[in-house]
Amino acid sequence: MRLGIDLGGTKIEIIALSDDGAALLRRRVATPHNDYRQTLHAIAGLVRDAEAELGQAVSTGIGTPGALSRATGRLKNSNSVALNGQPILQDLGTLLQREVRISNDANCFALSEATDGAAAGAPVVFGVILGTGVGGGIVVNGHILTGPNAIAGEWGHNPLPWPEARELPGPACYCGKHGCIETFLSGPGMMRQHQLETGATLASAEIVQRAEQGDPACESSLQTYEHRLARSLAHVINILDPDVIVLGGGMSNIERLYTAVPALWGNWVFSDRVDTRLVKNRHGDSSGVRGAAWL
């Protein structure tokens, strides 16, 4: 049995998985707002309650936004800013009296889908979260590739590849650069691009829905999105050559991506053919917490 915890900006979720991946218990609480100490105690409370219910101490993994610096042992790059600079792994280990494993949410997503999800059995998996932000993680033979900088797979803040004139310099990103992949491929990115082209303010889900109904401006925005996603993934294929790319996050619900993007990405992949599969996640919103349990 394993415990997984997904530490998000608004909620903390816990799951207990049996060895065959069945969910034995699941619970969530609101994330204490901007308070590191309270966040630690909320996590510890969830673990203790779960173990009381399960009647045993259980191996525990945690998925967080951001990455744990190998050099300092402290969290960095988290959009939950109260966590940045904190030695969260050490503090939780002390609080829970055990070794805790930790990885970022995109890595947990990739691990979940590579273990018993849409990419099960594939040797090399690139997992992508296309949501309010854009993140990525790499799993090779069932193991997360972390890297010395704990940054492997994080391509959301690389520049959009093969940019067109209208894409330069690109929108300003919170990371300090312009034209990051995230500024184009996140949900808010699609919304902003549509606004830029048409002046209309529509949520990304509405743009997709209207495109399906034949609205030409929304169709154009969706095609632009597909073109950008195809370029961004072709860049990854040229470096990593994954067997499977699995999409998660809100934008992964756009069903036509799975045919439209592979029909395009051959334009930029330096190969006579592309056999990489692009698939939708199997575990949906549960992938983060499930992956944390598999850590």
What letter does residue 172 receive in the DSSP assignment?
A: B
Q: Which is nearer to Zn ion, 15 or 173 (CB)?
A: 173
* Residue 162, C-beta contacts closer than 8 angstroms, at least 6 positions apart: 231, 268
* 53's tokens: 């219910």
In angstroms, give the least distance from the CB of 203 to Zn ion.
22
State which of residues 58, 180, 229, 289 lies at the interface with Zn ion (CB under 5 A).
180
Residue 196 binding Zn ion, by CB under 5 A: no
Do 241 and 274 touch, CB atoms closer than 8 A?
no
State which of residues 16, 110, 112, 157 lies at the interface with Zn ion (CB under 5 A).
157
In angstroms, give the least distance from the CB of 183 to Zn ion.
7
Do 127 and 109 touch, CB atoms closer than 8 A?
yes
Q: What are phi and psi of 104, to 5 degrees?
A: -80, 165
In angstroms, give the least distance from the CB of 159 to Zn ion.
9
Q: Which is nearer to Zn ion, 64 or 186 (CB)?
A: 186
In sequence order, what E strands does 212-264 have? Answer: 244-248
Q: Which is nearer to Zn ion, 51 or 154 (CB)?
A: 154
Do 105 and 94 touch, CB atoms closer than 8 A?
no
Q: Which stretch binds Zn ion (CB under 5 A): 36-44, 150-158, 198-206, 273-281?
A: 150-158
# residues contacting Zn ion (CB under 5 A): 5
Q: Which is nearer to Zn ion, 28 or 177 (CB)?
A: 177
H or E segment to which residue 209 belongs = helix 204-212
Q: Which stretch binds Zn ion (CB under 5 A): 88-96, 152-160, 227-235, 255-263?
A: 152-160
Which of 16, 107, 13, 86 has the alpha carbon at shortest distance from 56?
A: 16
Angle at 225 (CA atoms; ends 254, 105), nearest 5 degrees: 65
* 16's tokens: 């207990």
Residue 175 binding Zn ion, by CB under 5 A: yes
In angstroms, give the least distance from the CB of 182 to Zn ion.
6
Alpha carbon distance 182, 158 (integer Å): 8
Q: Which stretch binds Zn ion (CB under 5 A): 71-79, 165-173, 227-235, 287-295?
A: 165-173
Residue 160 binding Zn ion, by CB under 5 A: no
Residue 173 binding Zn ion, by CB under 5 A: yes
- Residues forming the site for Zn ion (CB under 5 A): 157, 173, 175, 177, 180
